[in-house]
A and B are shown apart, each in its own frame.
Chain A
Amino acid sequence: MAVTKLFGAAIKRREDPRLITGRGNFTDHIRLPGTLVMAIKRSPHAHARIVRIDTSKARAMRGVVAVYTGQDLVDKLAPVPCAWLIPDSDLKLTPYRAVAVDKVRYVGDAVAVVVAEDRYVAQDAVEAIDVEYEVLPAVVDQEKAMEPGAPQLYDEIPNNLAFHWKLHVGDFDAVWNEAEVRLSRRLINHRLIPTAMEPRGALAAYNPGSGELTIWCTSQNPHVHRLLLSAVTGLPETRIRVIATDVGGGFGSKIPMYAGEMIAAAISRDLGRPIKWIETRQENYVATIHGRDHIQYVDIAARRDGTITGVRVRAYANMGAYLSTAAPGVPTWLFGLMLQGAYAIPVIHCDVYGVLTNTTPTDAYRGAGRPEATYLLERMIDILARELGMDPAEIRRKNFIPKDRFPYTTPTGLQYDSGDYEATLNRALELVDYANLRRQQAELRQQGRYIGIGFSTYVEVCGLAPSQAAGAMGFQGGLWESATVRVHPTGKVTVFTGSNPHGQGEETTFAQLVADELGVPFEDVEIIHGDTEMVPFGMGTYGSRSTAVGGAALVAACRKVKEKAQRIAAHLLEVSPEDLAFENGRFFVKGAPDRGMTFQEVALQAYLAWKLPRDIEPGLEATHFWDPVNNTFPFGCHICVVEVDPETGKVDFLKYVAVDDVGNVINPMIVDGQVHGGIAQGLAQAVYEYAAYDANGQLLSASLMDYAIPKASMLPSFTVDRTVTPTPVNPMGVKGAGETGTIASTPAVVNAVIDALAPFGIEHIDMPLTPERIWRAVRERSS
């Protein structure tokens, strides 16, 4: 393992000067001569038949170049693809036209497209298009959508049921019958809107002369988008270049293949002109994927001493109106496999119903499935503790998978790589001064003040792998990552990574890795990502995989480079490679440190090629495709302390302690940033964020005036600490830190609020814990 000086150093992010001074290259910054602007007319109805579309007024407007309806695009674009075909689930794919042809199925479904000389004219033209609809009854709630007589989104998908996924391990009925304690609850994990700072967009430039399509777009996985664009447009991959160098946040929302980008590509090809489409924030809210949205029925079987003996879950996942690219895998594999959490629960039964409704499609949103599993377990274990009169910390300790059982094979078939769950709990208890805090809580209650302490001891799966497992799960892709390390004659290094960081800071952490591996200065390493023409095929950035998988590919490629350099150096120094040592960027003869060459000198010789070993090619470059043998499983303990004002229901945050174990840490400052952002997002689900639909399928929280993303003033200070349990899965021993905060924090916050309200006899309130919901719960119990 390479732990030298840059590994572990809190170096400031090198991408930041570019990004914070407005010098990034985001999609909307790219200007091409002759570009036309595209705008999409979207359905105002959640469910309706398109009777007639009159585009004549729009077409006649000055500055309007073309108007397309769904029918006009049928021959130019295949349907929007779904690429996670979960097996044995009776999966029914939704025919998903980029522009609706006969029927619209959610508010925001595209019905027509305008291409104009400028964005203002395009908007005027969008408004001038007259669409006659036959409005149909809509269904928003996934349980109602499965009831007999519910509105049917598709003739060919009865009861709106897209799939029924099952995972039954052990005999739950037996443990249920034998259980000393049985708890059954219904939990709601509500719908969220990812709200990346940069909305989605594309600049598609088809060159009719060469037959090449270049598309700048907001993508977490440019090669996957190239592959899917090839599939939907019929252009060969070799004629498509996807560029997404700077992307302003994604949180999963920039993984899928969307209608907007597809339409821009098809129209650019049709008109032979560059087409720019940038969605508005309102479009972002209705037409970019949403996340979560589960209704869960949970049964927990336990013994009186707090030992959980089995978990049974029946979950209804709201998939929205169409199956988005990775959607079927999120509430199934990414949820069901993690239902034992950090606990030695032997029996797991899980049934997931994927239900279609007249709402925006859902897909992977930061955490993706794991927050839904973690919330369920962490909430239920608190309810169980209350039932048994146990301390929430102690019931967790009781059920933890002990550290001597790693690697631990879960009943769901995962192999937890490494862990010491109790260490994070102990450290968090110490940091929050638990015993004192409980005393303080008791005293304040006497004064009519209500503070609460909430726990979340989570484990999550990231760096999803290996590709073989992906195949078994029906994921239509591999889960490896690629890296090319190119050493130039001067010894400077360019790295081409298949990861596509869009806020995670890998331009910095990857350079730290390379500098350590090759002994070159940090400044001499360039990281190139997000351009399919430059980078070998890559899978992209999501699921906290970039460092654990992309970083491992990079280290492996560096080691190939170093091995070749060593052979060249040995040849030049006239010793055998084994006789050389490498330190501080220099090869030297063991026992004769004066006889040596710097890495840069070797690089130059590799390119001069005047005196290379016979079996060595000139140049100094290597590529590695890293397919990990396993996932990684970060874990930790978060403790949230709140005060609730029972008069208004308002929650104030007093303390927040996060002790995470993400394995070895390359750049602690960047990991802290990831943890902070993750906590903010998860905390916001608990108390602020809520995608609200009315019964007709209108999104009521369709703007930032109504959808409460957390502002700095709405958050507490975070106390962040770590334990370090390296993973054996990759050479750096790193796990992943992108989603831990989001996964851990939501139940910690809810558990804290419910703990504060314990004197009122309140055991559960469904999220989001808005002031009104809390006030109502208190009032109900007080009267």
Chain B
Amino acid sequence: MYPSTFTYYRAGSVQEALKLLVENPDAKLLAGGHSLIPAMKLRLASPSALIDISRVPELAGIRDAGDRIVIGATTRYDDIQRSELVRQVLPILPEAIDVIGDLQVRNMGTIGGSLAHADPAADLPAVVLALGAELKAVGPDGERTIPADQFFVDLFTTALQPNEILTEISFPKPPARTGMSYQKFANPASGYAVVGAAAVVTLGEDGKVAAVRVGVTGAGPYAVRRQNVEQALVGQEPTAAAIEAASQLASEGMTFNSDIFASDEYRAHLTRVFVKRALTRAVERARG
């Protein structure tokens, strides 16, 4: 519970943060700190410096950008949960945030912090995959956009370069007849996802599945999309049987974590079950 010595910097702007990152190659960015600081207290992480970006004004906030909703990387969970715009258009975000940690965590934790940390059991990675979000990063060479599908690379590893800062997450507004749901099986000790499944389903006028995206977190080393499930459902009538059959594919081709609470075999089973539950709920909601 006693971190090693580090230097603390507070950045006033993204540019200043970038400069500090270049000057301190071993530094870590600090936003909400709810993953990083516990790791430092246990000396699992011992960065030489922290660059606090939590007060950089341009990094926080939620805005309506026409056909997209853009959320700044240091926007806190609680602010997202309270946003009327988000609740109307992307209800899966408050649904997922509601099961993250406790009130204190949600008051401090940030969306960008969670995504950039890429904890294998974090909730939001599954959600951004299912929503087809885009993540914007700024580095010394300028700005680039990373699709959520390419963002999560491995255990605690993302497509971000060490000298890049995640600045915002941009979500397409879903079309009509879209339903979405996040279903989570929480670890009773940590509250983290043993398995979390996010599903976003758009139905055509004929009631068949026009589009579907499924993201899974907790089960493996990093959050993944389940295209095989999606492909099995597109164009289908989303009956219970069709959802059940598609969900059976959810665990195919995945690597599963194993720990004292849940073995890999059990996680594979839970992946199928929770993908099914998320799809079922999303379809119900899409039907209104």
Contacts and interface: CB of A to CB of B under 8 A. Distances in A.
Interface of A: 119-120, 122-124, 127, 280-282, 647-648, 650, 688, 690, 692, 700-701, 704-710, 714, 770-772, 775-776
B263 A772 contact: yes
Contact of B260 (A122, A688, A701, A710): A701
A124 B2 CA distance: 9
Nearest to B38: A705
Which of B43, B192, B263, B269 neighbours the largest number of chain A CB atoms within 10 Å of its CB? B269
Contacts of A770: 261
Contacts of A776: 266
Which of A124, A127, A648, A709 neighbours the largest number of chain B CB atoms within 10 Å of its CB? A648
B266 A772 contact: yes
B261 to A, nearest CB: 7
Interface in B176-192: 185, 187-190, 192
A706 B263 contact: no
Contact of A120 (B5, B190, B259, B261): B5
B103 interface: no
Nearest to B194: A771
Nearest to A707: B189
A705 B41 CA distance: 14
A704 B189 contact: yes
Which of A122, A281, A700, A775 neighbours the largest number of chain B CB atoms within 10 Å of its CB? A775
Contacts of A714: 188
Contacts of A707: 189
B42 interface: yes
24 contacts: A120-B2, A120-B3, A120-B5, A124-B4, A280-B1, A280-B2, A282-B42, A647-B273, A648-B270, A650-B185, A688-B188, A692-B260, A701-B189, A701-B260, A704-B189, A704-B190, A705-B190, A705-B192, A707-B189, A714-B188, A771-B266, A772-B262, A775-B266, A775-B269
Contacts of A704: 189-190
A281 B269 CA distance: 33
Given A120-B2, A708-B188, A690 B273 contact: no
The 7 A-B pairs of least Cβ separation, nearest first, read A708-B189, A708-B188, A123-B2, A705-B190, A772-B266, A692-B260, A280-B1
A701 B189 CA distance: 10
Contacts of A124: 4-5
Nearest to B1: A280
A701 B259 CA distance: 10
A704 B269 CA distance: 26
A692 B270 CA distance: 22
Contacts of B192: 705
B57 to A, nearest CB: 33
A119 B2 contact: yes
Contacts of B42: 282
Nearest to B261: A770
Interface string B234-270: 0000000000000000000000000111110010011
Contact of B190 (A119, A122, A706, A771): A706
B189 A705 contact: yes
B260 A706 contact: yes
Contact of A281 (B1, B4, B5): B1
Interface of B: 1-5, 42-43, 185, 187-190, 192, 259-263, 266, 269-270, 273
Given A690-B260, A706-B260, A648 B273 contact: yes
Contacts of B2: 119-120, 122-123, 280
A85 B212 CA distance: 68
A772 B42 CA distance: 29
A688 B191 CA distance: 13
A700 B273 contact: no
A124 B3 CA distance: 9
A772 B185 CA distance: 12
A295 to B, nearest CB: 19
Contacts of B269: 775
Contacts of B1: 280-282
Contacts of A280: 1-2
A772 B195 CA distance: 13
Contacts of B3: 120
A648 B275 CA distance: 13
A281 B42 CA distance: 10
A117 to B, nearest CB: 13
A124 B263 CA distance: 36
A595 to B, nearest CB: 64
Contacts of B4: 124
A755 to B, nearest CB: 22
Nearest to B262: A772
Given A647-B273, A648-B270, A701-B260, 11 more contacts: A280-B1, A280-B2, A282-B42, A690-B260, A692-B260, A700-B260, A704-B190, A710-B188, A770-B261, A771-B185, A775-B269
Which of B3, B189, B192, B259 neighbours the largest number of chain A CB atoms within 10 Å of its CB? B189
Contact of B185 (A120, A281, A648, A701): A648
Nearest to B191: A711
A282 B266 CA distance: 28
Contacts of B270: 648
Which of B260, B269, B273 neighbours the largest number of chain A CB atoms within 10 Å of its CB? B260
Contacts of A122: 2
A714 B189 CA distance: 10
B247 to A, nearest CB: 12
Nearest to B102: A711
B39 to A, nearest CB: 11
A375 B230 CA distance: 48
A62 to B, nearest CB: 12
Contacts of A690: 260
Nearest to A39: B2
B267 to A, nearest CB: 9
B3 to A, nearest CB: 8
Contacts of A120: 2-3, 5
Contacts of A772: 261-263, 266
Contacts of B260: 690, 692, 700-701, 706
Nearest to A776: B266
A711 to B, nearest CB: 8
Contacts of A710: 188
Contacts of B261: 706, 708, 770, 772
A754 B98 CA distance: 32
Contacts of A771: 185, 262, 266
Contacts of B262: 771-772
Nearest to A709: B189
Contacts of A650: 185
Contacts of B263: 772
A620 B266 CA distance: 69
Contacts of B188: 688, 708, 710, 714
Nearest to B274: A648
A85 B189 CA distance: 37
A121 B137 CA distance: 38
A706 B266 contact: no
A185 B42 CA distance: 42
A92 B260 CA distance: 34
A285 B273 CA distance: 34
Nearest to A199: B1
A123 B185 CA distance: 37
Nearest to A779: B269
Contacts of B266: 771-772, 775-776
A361 B261 CA distance: 24
Contacts of B185: 648, 650, 771
A650 B269 CA distance: 13
A745 B3 CA distance: 40
A705 B191 CA distance: 8
A783 to B, nearest CB: 13
Contacts of A282: 1, 42
A366 to B, nearest CB: 19
B161 to A, nearest CB: 29
A775 B2 CA distance: 40
A690 B263 CA distance: 16
